[in-house]
Every structure is written in C-alpha cells, then in structure tokens.
C-alpha cells in the first residue's frame, strides 16, 4: 500500500488520546513508506497527523477547497498541497490519490467523508479498505448504529464487515495490508405490492 487517506477533525477534541493516536498513525505511515493523503489543514488532528508524518520523514499530501484555506488554516509545509474548487472535488481527489481510508475522531465532516467512501465500497465502486480508528471508544456509538442497521434490515452483514475497526494504528494498518474486498452485489430486496 503506497497511500492512505486519513479523515479527521480540524479540532483536537477533549481527550489527549486523540492527538496521541493521530501522532502515532502519522509516524507509522511514514515508517512504512505510506504517503498520507488528508484534508490539508494545519490545525487540530489534521495538523497533528500531517506534522507527525512529515517529522518522521514521510510524505503528506493535502487537498483543501479554496473556501477552507483560511478557516482550516492550510498547511504550507506539505509535500504537496492541492487547492480545489469545492468539497466534491476535494473528496474525489483524495479518493483518487489513496489506496485506503482511515477515520480518526472528528465531527460531521469526518463522518460525511468516511460515509461517502464506505458507500462507494458497498456499491462496488472501489475495493479499498475503509477503517475506523476507534480511539478511547470514540466510535462506539456509531458502531451500535451500524449494528442497528443490520438488525433492522437496512445493512447486510457483508456490508457491515466493510468497516474495519481497531483501537490501535498498528492493528488497523495490519488489517489494511491483508484486506480483500468481499464480492457481493448491492443488497436490495423488492417489496411485494
């Protein structure tokens, strides 16, 4: 694997474990020769993961919309920074540049980015791994929602298994290296009328 996209907050959150995990992940990516692709900001967890990767001798590529250059405070010390016209362009470029996707803790933007690539995987539009780094139980409530979707018949077990979840970066990267996408068609049932 040559590149991984990391979705994460432009804030750091209240638990120091979030920054610690972002730092460890950035260092591990660099150590494995994997290029970090991310949202291009220098603040919050985005800045932590990028600085850690760069500080460990790795590469970091940022993709940021023009409208967020000042708000997310674009990182000017990256290996490469792409300034694009919209959030749609940002997500498309990050996807094109990446061979897998990891979500660290973050807010609605992080979830929106992760859900889009997860949906693309479910639809068979890509076979790249999608993982949650569940730092200090941050994603526990979301995992309950996924299980609720399965219980209520809106998500198949196969598609639920597309979400790789680990609490440590080492374990998640190990699963990424071994990942084989399931071969299953879109799960649709027709209602009887």
Q: What is the mean pLDDT of residues 173-190?
A: 80
Q: Nearest 5°: phi and psi at 151?
A: -60, -35
How high does pLDDT run on average in the chain? 94
Contact 7, 110 (CB under 8 A): yes
pLDDT, greater one: 129 or 183: 129
Q: What is the mean pLDDT of residues 28-37?
A: 98
Position 145 pLDDT exceeds 70? yes
Contact 8, 45 (CB under 8 A): yes
User: According to the model, what pLDDT value does residue 24 have?
Assistant: 98
Spatial CA neighbour of 104 closest among 31, 4, 3: 4
Contact 54, 131 (CB under 8 A): no
- The domains found in the chain, sorted by start residue, are 3-178 (3.40.50.450)
């Amino acid at each position: 694997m040559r590149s991984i996209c990391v979705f994460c907050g432009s804030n750091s959150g209240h638990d120091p474990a979030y920054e610690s995990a972002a730092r460890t992940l950035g260092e591990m990516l660099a150590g494995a020769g994997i290029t970090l692709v991310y949202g291009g900001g220098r603040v919050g967890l985005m800045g932590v993961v990028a600085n850690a990767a760069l500080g460990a001798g790795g590469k970091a590529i940022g993709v940021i919309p023009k409208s967020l250059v000042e708000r997310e405070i674009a990182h000017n010390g990256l290996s490469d920074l792409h300034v694009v016209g919209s959030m749609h362009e940002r997500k498309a470029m990050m996807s094109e540049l990446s061979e897998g996707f990891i979500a660290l803790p973050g807010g609605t933007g992080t979830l929106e980015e992760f859900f889009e690539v997860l949906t693309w995987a479910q639809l068979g539009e890509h076979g790249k791994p999608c993982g949650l780094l569940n730092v200090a139980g941050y994603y526990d409530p979301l995992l309950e929602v996924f299980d609720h979707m399965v219980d209520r018949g809106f998500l198949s077990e196969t598609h639920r298994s597309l979400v790789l979840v680990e609490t440590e970066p080492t374990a998640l990267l190990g699963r990424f290296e071994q990942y084989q996408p399931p071969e299953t068609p879109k799960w649709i049932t027709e209602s009887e009328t």
